[in-house]
Structure 1
Amino acid sequence: MARFFQIEKIFEKDKALKEAYTAYINELIEKGYMVKCVNNSSEPHCYLPHHVVMKDSTTTKVRPVFDASRKTSNGIALNDLLRPGPKLKKDLFNISIRFRTHAVAFTADIGKMYLHVKLDEQDQPYHKILWGDSVEKPIEDYRLTTVTFGVNISPFIAVATVQHHAKNEMENFPEACSIILNDSYMDDVSSGCDTVEEAIQRRSEITHVLQQGGFPLKKWASNCEELLESIPEDEIELKTKELDGYKYVSTLGLKWFFEGDKIGFKMDIERNALKYTKRAILSQITTIYDPLGLMAPVTMYNKILMQEIWKEQCDWDEEVSEQIATKWNALRGELPLIKNIKPKRWLECSNTKKIELHGFSDASEAAMGACVYMKVYKDDEIHVNLVAAKTKVTNVTTVGTLSGCFGREIDEHGEKIVKIGNIRNTFLLRQ
């Protein structure tokens, strides 16, 4: 009740937010996703505090999140009694790599995924909330009938339900179901095909399989105009964002400039920070998202700088030294140039004669890094693109410890071994 009163105070100051939040709740009630409780307070139950969050979405701008981690009157939270389930989500790095291998790429997402997964009726009393759309009206008890944001088991239930329907249709639509199972991250599908005809067929099959399970696919985007023309207009992502006049959609944590088929990077660097504290600098560094390491030469500087801040052993809200502040100020002034970095999405690896992967690695006293390039032979042309990279700063506690203790020897099979000695345990790293 106290948390609900806090929401009402926020609504008093922001009428537009109240209207948007109330409209969303009313939609839940109208569609049966949230129903009024009857007088059955004797049954086991749980009330979930809720609050409003703003979404960076072209469709739903606000939504409620339910706090299932909040301790109830007996000192136990709902999430304390629920196991989150095994990890079913596919690795984002692998999905991102595969997304770059298709000549014709497409993305889509399941509209309001959680709301299409119903809770068993015996579980619904544990998802009660308080709601009243006006201070003049009494506050009433409602229960949620679908999977809920904020409950730790919800992601598992939602993904498991989608995968269940895909597995059931695997025999009829093997390629489409494989995309749903392997190229989906929560409610986002990011995949593609080698030809336009195949892409049109796969899109139709994926849509059919998910509709069978009650999951509508919306906000389709593609680098292929012909594919988009085959999709109903109300299912296409029309509300795209723009950067310097180029349209893009967000997928896999990146910006995809689908018209030019380029990749961009997300970041949120504050231009006019008043204080340079460890907390402030770290919070801005972590806004730069680069899952494939395509900006490794840039992000490496950020990691080294953050390590230097840790070495100073300053508190989170204590201002860093003048030397660190000068370095960060110079770096921060250049980071907005990241928006100009737009590598190609497609690795040009379809219908090729030969593909080679070339790996490189190097290390210094400050950091180490590795990268992989793909070399593609096509007719009389050769294309080379960076696939992925990984960087790591040297461990502070071991800097200098390994200096001068590297040696090489040949094992019984004639292979080179790098031997790191003079430390408690000896490690053999096979080259």
Structure 2
Amino acid sequence: MTEVEPPTVTELNKTFYIPHHAVLKADSTSTPLRVVMDASSHVPGKMSLNQALYSGPKLQRDLVEILINFGLHKYVMLTDIRQMFRMIQVEPRQRQYQRILWRPHPDSPITDYQLNVLVFGFTSSPFLAIRTLLYLADKYKDFPVASQILRTQTFVDDFTFGNDDLDMIENMRDQLIGLLSKGKFELRKWASNTRSLLDGFPEEHIQNIDFSFDSESNVSLKILGLKWSPVKDQFFFTFKNFESKCTKRTMLSELARTFDPMGILTPITFHTKILIQRLWTLGLGWDEIPPKDLVDKWSHFKGDLTVLSSFALPRHIDFRDTYSCHLIGFCDASIEGTCTVTYLRIEYRSSAVKAHFLLAKSKVAPSQSVSLPRLELDAAVLLSKLLKYVTEVLKDKICLADIFAFSDSSVALSWIKNSPHLWKTYVANRVAFIQERVPPNKWHHLPINRLTRWKLLVRMLTDFWKRWKTEYLHTLTQRSKWHFPDKSTPRIGDMVLIKSDNEPPLEWALGRITDLNYGTDGIARVASVRIAKGILRMPLVKLCPLPTY
């Protein structure tokens, strides 16, 4: 930023002053206080700066493709560029369109400044930033591995790369550092599922918390965000509690803050899409309370989020010593909408078989009435897109033995397996679209309603924990329920659960009483309990004897 003189009257049409304000993000790991430049602001009848700028062609890689590739390696690393935009200078003649008014202190005079680097919030900034990285990859040929990372495994300023060989990934890491140093870029927030790969980095350059795949500029705004735990090497979701009043404004605001690029939460987010559709069709005002049925569904959605606290998805898909790999997709539809999901089925030479989740998508049905067979055909269209996309992503990395596409609609399958010219326009166009992406002989019939099955599983899970809490848990701490000959004192040799305030009941340690310590009054209050890791001395109030019959 450089201080400049105010423009003269003749220079006013060749300059632009950017409105700006501060945003405080207490959970940001780098810069909790940020200045936001509003290049879309304009006076009535005039263009904004963003309207006058070209956005440039899309250069950034698809995030879903990056996440799929992220799961294909045993050893992985993540990092990002420190203050990427501020490391890239703008051509001097263009800086006059990046002026601001600023004063370092409320008592100081307002001064004109000119920004010399890329500005976050400009339409052209993402293109220019990524183009700069690609320029480094093209210019420095002596970093071939790092150049490939910049071209294929970069999402704006984040890098994800991996390998099944530890020495190779160390070489990738060192080349990436060397190549980016040519452009004066510094890498921070290193994370890996293998601690030895982080040796040698200063502690402040290592990210010791779970890695979020949200854009950092939006991470504090998300109520539901995909994260990766380097220690457990698992994907999981975090969510923020929200207790705002149930209105159209608050519901749309909260629903828009879900970050699930791979569709892992499709069984939950599908119902949120239906809520959004209903809210718009009702024509409610922004601050009106929706009908009771929508409020109940909203409460049910918030209840579903609590289930996610224990959900985790393994990151790594192991391809070592494989015999065959099959790509499998399912599609289904109801009057409410369509959904699809894809899996990778791997058979190993040891005869073991594993199925790995890849992607899922859903789409609500149009507000106009559409027959169920046509909705089933639309589901097949969605699945064909997904299968085509996954095969393109995996074609240079995995040899797929075959592809299987399943639908529970006999009518839709009869359309797909015949020539498009036999059907009317609506069906013919979609059948032709499907057949271009997935051959008819890959489609198979599977009579299962998977939307209903998901609802059943959620209900079973909810009812189980409800009954656990109301019918059984409280009996563990009631002495009158212990089945001992002596109603007041447990005996040596009894099996017990050791209560822990920090763990759910199903994870409490199991042990056997080996000794009882009696007080001067002849009453035992402490017991020695043998567990898998040794012997613990625990007060009897912390022990839950298991019933004997």
Structure 1 and Structure 2 fold alike (TM over 0.5): yes
Deviations 1:15-55 (A, max 9, x none): xxxxxxxxxxxxxxxxxxx1111466454322111111234
- With over 3 angstroms needed to count, the CA separation of the structure-2 counterparts of 1:391 and 1:124, relative to structure 1, is same
RCO higher in structure (CA 8 A, sep ≥6): 1
Secondary structure of the 1:427 match is helix
Name which of 236, 257, 267 aligns with 1:264.
236
- With over 3 angstroms needed to count, the CA separation of the structure-2 counterparts of 1:358 and 1:131, relative to structure 1, is same
Q: Is the 8 A contact 1:108 1:221 kept in 2?
A: yes
Residue 358 of structure 1 and its aligned partner are, at CA, apart by 1.4
Secondary structure of the 1:388 match is strand
Letter of the 2:79 counterpart? A
Structure 2: how far apart are the matches of 1:190 and 1:310? 39
Determine the structure 2 residue equivalent to 1:67: 38
Structure 2: how far apart are the matches of 1:308 and 1:212? 53
Residue 320 of structure 1 and its aligned partner are, at CA, apart by 0.6
Structure 2: how far apart are the matches of 1:408 and 1:63? 54
- Coordinate RMSD, CA, aligned: 2.7
Question: Is 2:178 the counterpart of 1:208?
Answer: yes
Deviations 1:195-237 (A, max 9, x none): 2211111011111111111111111000011111243434222
Structure 1: how far apart are the matches of 2:48 and 2:415? 59
Q: Is the 8 A contact 1:373 1:384 kept in 2?
A: yes
Determine the structure 2 residue equivalent to 1:36: 3
- With over 3 angstroms needed to count, the CA separation of the structure-2 counterparts of 1:423 and 1:269, relative to structure 1, is farther
- With over 3 angstroms needed to count, the CA separation of the structure-2 counterparts of 1:395 and 1:72, relative to structure 1, is closer
- With over 3 angstroms needed to count, the CA separation of the structure-2 counterparts of 1:252 and 1:322, relative to structure 1, is closer
Show the 5 A alignment for 1:112-123. 112-123=83-94
Letter of the 2:342 counterpart? V
Q: Is the 8 A contact 2:6 2:112 kept in 1?
A: no
Secondary structure of the 1:384 match is strand
Determine the structure 1 residue equivalent to 2:193: 223
Residue 309 of structure 1 and its aligned partner are, at CA, apart by 3.1
Residue 69 of structure 1 and its aligned partner are, at CA, apart by 2.0
Q: Is the 8 A contact 1:196 1:224 kept in 2?
A: no
Determine the structure 2 residue equivalent to 1:153: 124
- With over 3 angstroms needed to count, the CA separation of the structure-2 counterparts of 1:332 and 1:65, relative to structure 1, is same
Determine the structure 2 residue equivalent to 1:375: 345
TM-score (norm 2): 0.65
Show the 5 A alignment for 1:218-257. 218-238=188-208, 240=209, 248-251=210-213, 254-257=226-229
Determine the structure 1 residue equivalent to 2:79: 108
**Structure 2, gaps ≥5 residues long:** 216-225, 378-410, 441-549
**Segment drifting more, 391-400 vs 308-317:** 308-317
Identity fraction in percent: 30
Q: Is the 8 A contact 1:371 1:390 kept in 2?
A: yes
Determine the structure 1 residue equivalent to 2:146: 176
Show the 5 A alignment for 1:331-410. 331-350=301-320, 352-380=322-350, 381-400=352-371, 406=411
Letter of the 2:136 counterpart? H
Deviations 1:123-151 (A, max 9, x none): 11211111112222211111111111222
Q: Is the 8 A contact 1:90 1:183 kept in 2?
A: yes
- With over 3 angstroms needed to count, the CA separation of the structure-2 counterparts of 1:251 and 1:196, relative to structure 1, is farther
Structure 2: how far apart are the matches of 1:40 and 1:302? 51
Structure 2: how far apart are the matches of 1:224 and 1:401? 49
- With over 3 angstroms needed to count, the CA separation of the structure-2 counterparts of 1:103 and 1:138, relative to structure 1, is same
- With over 3 angstroms needed to count, the CA separation of the structure-2 counterparts of 1:320 and 1:121, relative to structure 1, is same
Residue 330 of structure 1 and its aligned partner are, at CA, apart by 2.4
Letter of the 2:253 counterpart? S
Determine the structure 2 residue equivalent to 1:86: 57
Q: Is the 8 A contact 1:372 1:388 kept in 2?
A: yes
**Structure 1, gaps ≥5 residues long:** 1-33, 241-247
Structure 2: how far apart are the matches of 1:38 and 1:427? 62
Structure 2: how far apart are the matches of 1:59 and 1:410? 55
Structure 1: how far apart are the matches of 2:235 and 2:20? 36
Question: Is 2:251 the counterpart of 1:281?
Answer: yes
Determine the structure 2 residue equivalent to 1:18: none
Letter of the 2:331 counterpart? S
Secondary structure of the 2:92 match is coil
Letter of the 2:2 counterpart? V
Secondary structure of the 1:204 match is helix
Q: Is the 8 A contact 2:337 2:362 kept in 1?
A: yes
Determine the structure 2 residue equivalent to 1:23: none
Q: Is the 8 A contact 1:266 1:287 kept in 2?
A: no
Structure 2: how far apart are the matches of 1:315 and 1:410? 43
Determine the structure 2 residue equivalent to 1:26: none
Residue 292 of structure 1 and its aligned partner are, at CA, apart by 0.5
Residue 423 of structure 1 and its aligned partner are, at CA, apart by 6.9
Paired residues, number: 384
Secondary structure of the 2:346 match is strand
Structure 2: how far apart are the matches of 1:61 and 1:363? 44
Letter of the 2:329 counterpart? G
